[in-house]
């Protein structure tokens, strides 16, 4: 088991090193990066917004319920929604969802190309397949996922507003006051650090799973599932480590 | 010319190739034949560098393939074209984009020059007006021809074909064979074909090597197949009673 882990970890590092070598033709990689940015970014925007609006809404309603008979001022709802969203919910939940959507897609795409001999065909042409198939996805994800996380945070705060103001939990002025109170720019920095680290994980782990897939459709399905499971576990682990490193 | 010397390949404890030495000549169609499991595909993958041999050397003209570093290997691969059994066309690209892919990746030609070259290669394989189609919109025979067009677009010195006729009807299979022979002769390239198709052996086998249980069992050409006494060869080529009768008839009519 340990040997198997070490073997896979070593092979993952070697693949990353190969994937980050100099491109054969910059324009081809640029084109592929733009395509990936569109697929990952625009393709995930709706689901990210949908999830974020509910995260904000539920957070606001839960805290409003908790605070209703307390001495804590009700405008704190806006403050709590903002900070919990920026620090934790937007980056983590968004990236867990993206690990499912984007990660499984990357694993299936790379694995399908391996099984249909597309990767072999490119290798024989002289293409560095690890670089061509992984680097554009990684660069695209590192740019686009922080933007998606940022969007998720904004939409989530909007969701909190929608669930607490029109329903009468608090007033419009109270919510906005809460959102504008005690703001720490450092939390936004934490959010972006998390987004970048999670983007790296949810791109490279599925790419590794797909790139080395063997067998047929069952193995491809397993690789896709493993890609999501491992990415999710690593994202949660990284979340904990970043929390310790950036707050202690 | 490609030369292999004492190639061995093992997977765990199983030795798939047992010291095979052979030459594949320039300007000729060189066939690797043998039953399923004989080691043909492993041999082809070793020849193109997708697998590393456990022992032995591969020479592309004067270049020892196994001694090349990554950069040299990539340079050599510009001279290599390969047609895969399943064609290996990129599904999400059109036919034109598929054939143009090596040009886009490795050349600095203008868009017009690339288009001209793509159109020439497609015309050469008798495919015109399919530029905008996707591989899924074409037949199996057309996909093979698109695969050939892509493999010759960079004007390779070495062409490898893995089971070029598999899944094709006999007429289309013959057309593909003829195409490969014509391209080989026109461009004076070294072509290596991995096949177990009887028609291919008898029609285009300029230089044939027979693998049996990982060993080189017979070498010759299409004209020598009929008269060879090699039992493995005869069992492979003339497997059915009908073909055996045909062989006997052919031999008796030629005076034996």
- In angstroms, rounded to a whole number, what is the distance separating the alpha carbons of residues A105 and A220? 11
Tell whether the model's pLDDT for residue A70 goes beyond 80: yes
Provide the pairing of β-strand B190-195 with B29-33: parallel
**Mutation target vs A (from B47, B72, B105, B163; most A CBs, 10 A cutoff):** B105
pLDDT value of residue A185: 93
Of A64 and A248, the structure prediction assigns the larger pLDDT to: A64
Q: Residue B60: its chain A contacts at CB < 8 A?
A: none
- CB distance B104–A25 less than 8 Å? yes
DSSP conformation letters of chain B: -EEEEEEEEEETTEEEEEEEEEEE-TTSEEEEE--TTSSHHHHHHHHHTSS--SEEEEEETTEEGGG--HHHHHHHHTTEEEE-TTTT--TTS-HHHHHHHHHHHH----HHHHHHHHHHHHHHTT--S-TT--GGGS-HHHHHHHHHHHHHTT--SEEEEESTTTT--HHHHHHHHHHHHHHHHHHT-EEEEEE--HHHHHHH-SEEEEEETTEEEEEE-HHHHTT---HHHHHHHT-SHHHHHHHHHHHHHTT-
In degrees, rounded to 5, the angle at the alpha carbon of residue A33 between the alpha carbons of residues B156 and A112 is 65
As a whole number, mean pLDDT of residues B156-174 equals: 88
As a whole number, mean pLDDT of residues A144-161 equals: 96
- Structure confidence at residue B255 as a pLDDT band (50, 70, 90): low
**Interface contact B84, partner A, CB < 8 A:** yes
Of B74, B88, B101, the CB nearest to A117: B88
DSSP state of B87: T
- CB distance A25–B84 less than 8 Å? no
As a whole number, mean pLDDT of residues B55-82 equals: 88
- Please state which of the ranges A150-154, B8-12, B106-110, B165-169 shows the lowest mean pLDDT: B165-169
Kindly report, residue by residue over B109-140, the tens digit of the pLDDT.
999 999 999 999 999 988 888 999 999 999 98
Q: Residue A130: its chain B contacts at CB < 8 A?
A: none
State the complex-level ipTM: 0.85
Kindly report, residue by residue over B213-222, the tens digit of the pLDDT.
999 999 998 8
Residue B140, min C-alpha distance to chain A (Å)? 15
Of chain B residues 185-244, which have a CB less than 8 A from chain A? none
The tokens of A20 are what? 């980050």
- CB distance B102–A121 less than 8 Å? no
Beta carbons of A175 and A157 less than 8 angstroms apart: no
Of B74 and B125, the structure prediction assigns the larger pLDDT to: B125
- In angstroms, rounded to a whole number, what is the distance separating the alpha carbons of residues A14 and A11? 5
**Interface contact B101, partner A, CB < 8 A:** yes
pLDDT value of residue A112: 95
Residue A117, min C-alpha distance to chain B (Å)? 6
Of chain A residues 125-164, which have a CB less than 8 A from chain B? 125-128
Tell whether the model's pLDDT for residue A29 goes beyond 70: yes
As a whole number, mean pLDDT of residues B80-106 equals: 93
Tell whether the model's pLDDT for residue A62 goes beyond 80: yes
Of chain B residues 59-78, which have a CB less than 8 A from chain A? 73-75, 77-78
- CB distance A125–B101 less than 8 Å? yes
**Interface contact A35, partner B, CB < 8 A:** no
pLDDT value of residue B73: 85
Residue A226, min C-alpha distance to chain B (Å)? 25
Sign of CA dihedral A96, A101, A102, A104: positive
Kindly report, residue by residue over B189-212, the tens digit of the pLDDT.
999 999 888 888 888 889 999 999
pTM above 0.80, yes or no: yes
The tokens of B149 are what? 């067009």
Give the residue carrying structure tokens 């036919």: B95
pLDDT value of residue A1: 60
Q: Residue B75: its chain A contacts at CB < 8 A?
A: 126
The tokens of B253 are what? 């009519």
Kindly report, residue by residue over A185-198, the tens digit of the pLDDT.
999 999 999 999 99
pLDDT value of residue A248: 77
- CB distance B77–A126 less than 8 Å? yes
- In angstroms, rounded to a whole number, what is the distance separating the alpha carbons of residues B58 and B9? 13
What integer best gives the mean pLDDT of chain B? Answer: 89
Residue A196, min C-alpha distance to chain B (Å)? 29
Tell whether the model's pLDDT for residue B50 goes beyond 60: yes
pLDDT value of residue A137: 97
- Structure confidence at residue B98 as a pLDDT band (50, 70, 90): very high
pLDDT value of residue B243: 77
- In angstroms, rounded to a whole number, what is the distance separating the alpha carbons of residues A203 and A148? 15
As a whole number, mean pLDDT of residues A101-112 equals: 95
- Nearest alpha-carbon partner for A160 in A24, A61, A34: A61
Kindly report, residue by residue over B102-114, the tens digit of the pLDDT.
999 999 999 999 9
Tell whether the model's pLDDT for residue B256 goes beyond 60: no
Kindly report, residue by residue over B135-158, the tens digit of the pLDDT.
999 998 899 999 999 999 999 999
Residue B110, min C-alpha distance to chain A (Å)? 13
- CB distance A124–B104 less than 8 Å? no
As a whole number, mean pLDDT of residues B238-250 equals: 78
């Amino acid at each position: 088991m340990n040997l198997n882990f070490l073997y896979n970890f070593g092979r993952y590092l070697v693949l990353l090193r190969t994937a980050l070598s100099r491109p054969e033709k910059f324009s081809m990689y640029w084109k592929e990066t733009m395509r990936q940015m569109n697929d990952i970014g625009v393709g995930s925007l709706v689901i990210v917004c949908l999830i974020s609006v509910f995260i904000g809404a539920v957070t606001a309603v839960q805290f409003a319920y908790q605070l209703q008979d307390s001495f804590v001022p009700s405008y704190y709802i806006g403050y709590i929604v903002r900070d919990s969203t920026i620090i934790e919910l937007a980056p983590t939940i968004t990236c867990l969802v993206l690990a499912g959507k984007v990660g499984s897609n990357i694993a299936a795409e790379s694995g399908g190309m391996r099984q249909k001999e597309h990767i072999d065909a490119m290798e024989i042409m002289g293409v560095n397949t690890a670089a061509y198939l992984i680097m554009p996805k990684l660069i695209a994800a590192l740019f686009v996922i922080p933007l998606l996380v940022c969007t998720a945070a904004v939409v989530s705060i909007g969701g909190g507003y929608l669930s607490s103001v029109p329903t009468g939990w608090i007033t419009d002025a109270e919510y906005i006051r809460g959102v504008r109170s005690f703001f720490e720019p450092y939390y936004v920095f934490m959010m972006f650090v998390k987004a970048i680290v999670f983007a790296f994980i949810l791109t490279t782990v599925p790419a590794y799973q797909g790139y080395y897939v063997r067998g047929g459709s069952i193995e491809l399905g397993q690789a896709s599932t493993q890609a999501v499971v491992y990415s999710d576990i690593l994202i949660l682990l990284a979340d904990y480590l970043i929390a310790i490193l950036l707050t202690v | 010319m490609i030369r292999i010397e004492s190639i061995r390949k093992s997977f765990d404890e199983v030795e798939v190739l047992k010291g095979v030495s052979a030459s594949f000549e320039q300007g000729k169609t060189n066939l690797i034949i043998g039953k399923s499991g004989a080691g043909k595909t492993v041999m082809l993958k070793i020849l193109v560098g997708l697998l590393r041999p456990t022992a032995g050397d591969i020479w592309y003209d004067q270049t020892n393939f196994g001694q090349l570093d990554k950069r040299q290997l990539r340079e050599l691969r510009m001279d290599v074209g390969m047609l895969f059994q399943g064609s290996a066309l990129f599904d999400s690209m059109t036919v034109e984009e598929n054939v143009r892919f090596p040009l886009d990746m490795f050349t600095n030609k203008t868009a017009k020059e690339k288009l001209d070259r793509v159109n020439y290669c497609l015309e050469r394989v008798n495919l015109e007006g399919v530029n905008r189609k996707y591989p899924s919109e074409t037949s199996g025979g057309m996909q093979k021809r698109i695969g050939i067009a892509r493999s010759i677009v960079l004007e390779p010195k070495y062409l490898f074909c893995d089971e070029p006729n598999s899944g094709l009807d006999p007429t289309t299979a013959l057309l593909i064979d003829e195409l490969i022979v014509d391209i080989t002769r026109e461009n004076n390239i070294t072509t290596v074909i991995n096949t177990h198709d009887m028609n291919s052996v008898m029609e285009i086998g300029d230089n044939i090597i027979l693998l049996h249980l990982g060993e080189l069992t017979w070498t010759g050409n299409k004209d020598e197949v009929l008269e060879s006494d090699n039992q493995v060869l005869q069992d492979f080529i003339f497997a059915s009673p009908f073909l055996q009768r045909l062989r006997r008839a052919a031999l008796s009519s030629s005076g034996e």
